[in-house]
């Protein structure tokens, strides 16, 4: 038989998924590797979805999504960010990953270079490689609060550079880009004539400061903002994300979406509509709960003399494991085997974090704190062996 795709065959494996699969075979394992809220989807959202299915919302929808959902998104953007967005500047997709995929397909061709963070969610690089695009990594260093530095960005640009991807609040860093950073990125993109794909799926989960969307500073249509309901409303399995971009970009994304999924799932769209227009008390309750868990986890690491990086947003914490004398994947696999705790190896997010692990503190609190105690014990044990 002829060989499989050369382009797709070199896509790297996600270290997160690898640990997920292994941990799933250990029933008693404490799961800190997955970025997923521990709460169930609020009941009003589930009931709205059930009602929609009874009423016949089980057929194809318009490609960019139900008008009612896009109107809800339109109002939400106006309320939270003062954005005046037209209906044909919004497309609803089957999750934020699909929205990112479509955005890249709309703006770039095979061989184009795309700037992505290091560290970053590994799916960014995987999506780029799937499309024959070239990932070029820019650094997010701890000493700069895991925010980009202009001189480093400038050094990465070539005539083939088409876009820069940013993520705020960040995964795995928990960093939140302030206004000055967003304005710098906009100026950089304009100077070098680049598109900006801005992953903002954690926009509601910020503990200090507030979310600043680059779309608010977009005067020429170069920004594609990616948002969704998965993290905000504990709806990861419903698979609804959306993109906000210029009419020209959204028009092309519509054509692309027809070839990929046709339209996002109808019942999930109605659930998302209820999430956005219904009671919002769950969002603030979840944010405060994550904040409390963050502080308790950070205190445990601090008391154990283990360096952890204090996040401003999202629900992830990077932990320095240098003292254990193990690279991140070996550390994660050994930790799972010896302590039955599953974490994401830092190396899966980039070379700059191969001496770290990422934990999700969206896990149920008792299990989370027990898992962190076991991580501390594990590091201290291996530290003594050095």
DSSP 73-104: HHHHHHHHH-----GGGEEEESSHHHHHHHHH
Whole-number mean pLDDT of the chain? 96
Q: Are 300 and 32 in contact (CB under 8 A)?
A: no
Choose the weakest-confidence range: 24-28, 300-304, 343-347.
24-28
Evaluate whether 31 touches 344 at the Cβ level (below 8 Å).
no
State residue 384's pLDDT score.
Answer: 61
* CB proximity list for 172: less than 8 A, separation 6 or greater: 119, 121, 316, 318, 344, 346, 349, 353, 358
Phi then psi for 279, rounded to 5 degrees?
-55, 140
Task: Give 119 or 15, the one with higher predicted confidence.
Answer: 119
Tens digits of per-residue pLDDT, 33-87? 998 999 999 999 999 999 999 999 999 999 999 999 999 999 999 999 999 999 9
- Mean pLDDT, residues 203-218: 97
Structural domains present in the chain: 6-41+281-384 (3.90.1150.10), 59-277 (3.40.640.10)
Residues pairing with 201 in the sheet: none
Mean predicted confidence (pLDDT) in 183-196: 98
Band the pLDDT of 276: cuts 50, 70, 90: very high
Query: pLDDT > 90: what percent of the chain?
Result: 91
Q: What is the pLDDT of residue 356?
A: 97
| Stretch 318-324: mean pLDDT | 96
- 268 C-beta neighbours (distance < 10 Å), count: 22
User: Other CB atoms closer than 10 Å to residue 80's CB: what's the count?
Assistant: 13
Q: pLDDT-based confidence at 385, cuts 50/70/90? A: low
The band of 24, judged by pLDDT with boundaries at 50, 70 and 90, is confident
């Amino acid at each position: 038989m002829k060989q499989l795709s050369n382009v797709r065959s070199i896509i790297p494996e996600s270290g997160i998924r690898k640990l997920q699969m292994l941990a799933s075979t250990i029933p008693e394992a404490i799961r800190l590797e997955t970025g997923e809220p521990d709460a169930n989807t609020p009941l009003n959202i589930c009931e709205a979805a059930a009602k929609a299915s009874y009423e016949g919302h089980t057929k194809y929808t318009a490609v960019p999504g139900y008008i009612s959902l896009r109107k809800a998104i339109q109002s939400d953007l106006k309320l939270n960010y003062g954005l005046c967005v037209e209906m044909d500047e919004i497309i609803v997709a089957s999750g934020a990953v699909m929205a990112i995929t479509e955005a890249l397909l709309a703006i770039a061709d095979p061989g184009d270079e795309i700037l992505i963070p290091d560290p970053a969610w590994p799916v960014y690089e995987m999506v780029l490689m799937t499309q024959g695009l070239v990932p070029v990594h820019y650094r997010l260093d701890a000493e700069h609060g895991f925010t980009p530095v202009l001189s480093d960005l400038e050094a990465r640009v070539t005539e083939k550079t088409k876009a820069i991807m940013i993520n705020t609040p960040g995964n795995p860093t928990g960093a939140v880009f302030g206004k000055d950073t967003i304005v710098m990125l906009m100026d950089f993109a304009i100077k070098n004539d680049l598109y900006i794909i801005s992953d903002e799926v954690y926009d509601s989960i910020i503990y200090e400061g507030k979310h600043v969307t680059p779309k608010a500073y977009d005067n020429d249509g170069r920004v594609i903002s990616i948002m969704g309901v998965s993290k905000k409303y504990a709806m990861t399995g419903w698979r609804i994300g959306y993109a906000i971009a210029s009419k020209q970009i959204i028009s092309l994304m519509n054509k692309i979406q027809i070839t990929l999924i046709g339209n996002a799932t109808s019942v999930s769209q109605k659930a998302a509509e209820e999430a956005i227009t219904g009671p919002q008390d769950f969002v603030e309750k979840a944010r405060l709960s994550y904040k409390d868990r963050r502080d308790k986890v950070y205190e445990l690491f601090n008391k154990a003399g283990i360096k952890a990086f204090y996040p401003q947003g999202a629900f992830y914490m990077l932990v320095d494991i240098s003292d254990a004398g193990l690279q991140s994947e070996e550390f994660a696999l050994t930790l799972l085997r010896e302590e039955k705790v599953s974490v994401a190896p830092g190396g899966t997010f980039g070379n700059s974090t191969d001496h770290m692990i990422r934990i999700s503190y969206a896990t149920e609190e008792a299990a989370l704190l027990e898992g962190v105690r076991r991580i501390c014990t594990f590091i201290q044990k291996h530290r003594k062996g050095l």
